[in-house]
Amino acid sequence: MNGTVTKVDELTLSGTKDGKISITTVSQPYGPKSESVASIGISLQAGAQEPDWKVHIPKANIDAVIAALTEAKKSL
Domain boundaries, the chain: 4-74
The DSSP secondary-structure symbol of 32 reads T
Question: What are 39's strand-pairing partners?
Answer: 24, 56
Neighbours of 26 (CB within 10 A): 20
d(Cα 54, Cα 5) in Å, to the nearest integer? Answer: 13
Is pLDDT above 80 for 2?
A: no
d(Cα 11, Cα 14) in Å, to the nearest integer? Answer: 9
- For 68, phi and psi rounded to 5 degrees? -65, -40
Q: pLDDT at position 1, please?
A: 62
Q: pLDDT at position 12, please?
A: 95
Per-residue pLDDT of 19-54, as tens digits, reads 999 999 999 999 999 999 999 999 998 888 889 999
Q: pTM here? A: 0.88
